[in-house]
Amino acid sequence: MSATPDSPGTDRWGPASASFDALGVWSSPEALAVFKRLAGCLREAGDSNGDTGPARQLWQFALGRPVPTIELAPWLSPADFQVLENSGSIEIEDDEATPRFAFFPEGDLLALIPRPTCFDEVAYLGPDSRWLVEVAADLGTGGERAADLGTGSGFVAAALSLRYRFTMGTDLKLWTAAVAAITLALNLRPGARAAVCATDVAGGLRPGSFDLVTANPPWVPTRDETRPRRLFADGGPTGFELPRRFILEGSGLIAPGGIGIFLCVDVHYTGGGKTPLDGLVRELELDGCRVEVRQAPAEERWPDRTEALRALNPDLEQARLVAVVVRR
């Protein structure tokens, strides 16, 4: 499957009246069964970019657009529509089904992307997530146990589950953890196991027990301390505080011989000198780790955010996305 679906929050969603009930779906065996069957139909249908063919309306629905229920009859029964409506997944009006979600397809992977309506009900998936999967595929050798911290939509965790026998995802918010759990359930291969834990970064996970640890933590500087935090984006006063914590706690989970891959924004300030990332790398090396910093590919993969971040911090000279690779 291939696609370049619209980004969540664009006009394709239409007027937003209610958020996706991730906990309702996750707690309903009937709803999960419909989602798994829908995922199977999409994989059989193949390419989502085609504008013609019998599966066109199925893909329109799967990408978050309203479709007449009669057009979806080959794949969804009246009972399926009722289950999806009862679980808070779709709205039906005038015999037209409007999903409160979309699927993001990448190869055979299908990540669940809920319709964003609530201030902090966002399960993040972006181009940096895709790059993290690429780096993990390049450096990770596969094996027994992998963990993705702050997993968001569960896309990265689902990709890891294709190569590791057990995959753990974590996220701070229960709603987001439920979204990730659904994504993992839609992609889990036979014989593999996966779980998602609602916890703060690596809280409750056993140190030194994972062959691969990944994370793409929030890195946007706090805009206003008096306003509610946007958990999926807020990286702390400078934007480096939370990534630093993810990298340190994630590194503690790596088993001997294992590897950690953590994304963060490497920020440089006017006047030069030591950067926050330089200090963190030195700290990890003193702890016995081998550390490599990889810069994200060019503009088509990750646009330069320096100007946008400079509006939040006038002393900022450069901000670039990097992968901090930690080996034990």
CB 129 within 8 Å of CB 155: yes
Q: Which two tokens stand for residue 91?
A: 């709205």
Residue 16: is its pLDDT beyond 60?
no
Report residue 268 CA to chain centroid gap. Answer: 27
The domain locations on the chain are: 11-114, 127-327
Compute the CA torsion angle 133, 120, 66, 6 (nearest 10 deg).
-40
Cβ atoms 326, 283 nearer than 8 A: no
Can you read off the two tokens belonging to residue 314? 């006038």
Least confident of 84-98, 156-170, 207-221, 287-301: 287-301
CATH of domain 127-327: 3.40.50.150
Q: Residue 6's pLDDT band (boundaries 50, 70, 90)? A: very low
For residues 65 and 49, the model is more confident at 65
Closest by CA to 99, choosing from 115, 122, 76, 119, is: 115
Q: What's the sign of the alpha-carbon dihedral 221, 249, 181, 2? A: positive
Tens digits of per-residue pLDDT, 211-255?
999 999 987 777 666 666 666 667 777 778 899 999 999 999 999
Q: Which residue(s) pair with 213 in the sheet?
A: 147, 260
Give pLDDT tens digits for 148-190.
Answer: 999 999 999 999 999 999 999 999 999 999 999 999 999 999 9
User: Which CA distances in Å does 263 have to 4, 32, 199?
Assistant: 23, 31, 19
What is the rounded distance in angstroms from the CA atom of residue 260 to the CA atom of residue 115?
Answer: 31
Return the ∠ at Cα 150 (arms to 6 and 234), rounded to 5°.
75
> Measuring CA to CA, which residue among 30, 99, 6, 113 is closest to residue 58?
99
What is the chain's Cα-based Rg?
Answer: 20
Rounded CA-CA distance 195/172 in Å is 14
Q: Are 242 and 172 in contact (CB under 8 A)?
A: no
Residue 115 · residue 99 · CB < 8 Å: yes
Percent of the chain with pLDDT over 90: 65
Of 161, 172, 147, 56, give the one whose Cα is nearest residue 111.
161
